[in-house]
């Protein structure tokens, strides 16, 4: 299985490649990708440097063009496809049909991967994207049970990639409206769940900190309590007189224990989430998954996840806890 790792900037790209990634995924420094945070992503010159570093070590580079353009910005997305093709990247990752159509018509030699933002969860949907736009791979949304992943692998006309580790999203991929409700800006079109200009941190008595998104109180943290980047879905709210994570607790997806089953199902690539994370996170998580995949490939004794691997992954997780998320449904 191909190990696909995040590269939010050049140091993270180098960390992933040097730790054993088979492929890295990046984005241009604009709103054509779903991690448009200030300070992240690549200029064309930086991407050329990243391509040189990756190729010297046999690693592929994919460019994410996975947000949705409105009618006034479609030309910018078409231009981004052209830039990716001119740079010679190994594939683009796209969701919008107009973007896929442009790539299919203008650059038929450029591999097209269907983004998780496309929310394709059925064999019929994957068949449509394959027949209409010639996709070479599909990234499945993080809402499917392992049984559904296995079924899709058996029926899909294209190879399937799944998320293996990283942040979860409670919304159907590509359909989130929570940030839009609070800020008026869509994460699916503007590339970020909580735009930085709307985020305000405030110091409170006793060392507590509060964080607001466009004036809306999202969370309060005690002195010394780890505080992640504020998003509406992972805030704490007062409900029925109690304050708790009413929508979703900060936690990360970790499918390491399912690795043999994913391999047996025919999953061709495992994706690590985290283009907004630093090089230390990228390097550490990549090394663990590289070791796990290599051990599985060698065969021999029955495979099992090392406790040290799980402990290390938990230390890099949101809230320092992990979950199988929708992969595990006892009733499925």
Structure tokens at 180: 């839009």
pLDDT at position 300, please? Answer: 65
Computed over every residue of the chain, the mean pLDDT equals 93
pLDDT tens digits, 32-89: 998 888 889 999 999 999 999 999 999 999 999 999 998 889 999 999 999 999 999 9
Residue spans of the chain under pLDDT 70: 300-301, 330-332
Distance CA 138, CA 119 (A): 10
Distance CA 296, CA 293 (A): 5
Q: Are 229 and 194 in contact (CB under 8 A)?
A: yes
Residues 6+ apart with CB under 8 A from 70: 189
pLDDT at position 167, please? Answer: 87
| Cβ burial, residue 184 (10 Å; 0-12/13-18/19+) | exposed
CATH class for the region spanning 2-168+251-327: alpha beta
Is the alpha carbon torsion for 128, 132, 135, 140 positive or negative? negative
The CATH 3.20.20.70 domain(s) of the chain lie at 2-168+251-327
């Amino acid at each position: 299985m191909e190990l696909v790792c995040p590269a939010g900037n050049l140091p993270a790209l180098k960390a992933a490649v040097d730790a054993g990634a088979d492929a890295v995924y990046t984005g241009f420094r604009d709103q054509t990708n779903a991690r448009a945070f200030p300070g992240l992503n690549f200029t064309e010159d930086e991407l050329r440097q990243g391509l040189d570093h990756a190729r010297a070590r046999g690693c592929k580079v994919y460019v994410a063009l996975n947000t949705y353009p409105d009618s006034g910005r479609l030309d910018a997305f078409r231009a981004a496809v052209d830039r990716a093709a001119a740079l010679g990247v190994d594939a683009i990752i796209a969701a919008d049909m107009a973007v896929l159509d442009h790539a299919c018509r203008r650059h038929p030699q450029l591999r097209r991967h269907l983004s998780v933002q496309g929310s394709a969860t059925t064999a019929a949907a994957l068949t449509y994207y394959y027949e209409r736009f010639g996709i070479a791979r599909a990234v499945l949304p993080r809402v499917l049970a392992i049984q559904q992943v296995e079924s899709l692998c058996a029926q899909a006309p294209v190879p399937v990639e799944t998320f293996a580790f990283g942040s979860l999203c409670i919304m159907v991929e590509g359909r989130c409206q929570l940030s839009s409700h609070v800020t008026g800006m869509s994460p699916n079109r503007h590339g970020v769940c909580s735009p930085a200009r709307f985020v305000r941190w405030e110091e409170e008595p006793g060392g507590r900190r509060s964080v607001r998104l466009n004036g809306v109180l999202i969370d309060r943290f005690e002195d010394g309590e780890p505080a992640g980047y504020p998003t509406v879905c992972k805030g704490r709210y007062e409900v029925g007189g109690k304050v708790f994570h009413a929508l979703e607790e900060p936690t990360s997806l970790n499918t390491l224990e399912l690795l043999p089953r994913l391999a047996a199902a025919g999953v061709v690539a495992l994706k690590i989430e985290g283009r907004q994370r630093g090089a230390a996170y990228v390097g550490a998580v990549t090394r663990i998954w590289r070791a796990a995949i290599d051990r599985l490939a060698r065969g021999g004794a029955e495979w099992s996840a090392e406790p040290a691997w799980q402990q290390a992954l938990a230390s890099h997780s949101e809230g320092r806890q992990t979950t199988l998320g929708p992969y595990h449904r006892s009733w499925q």
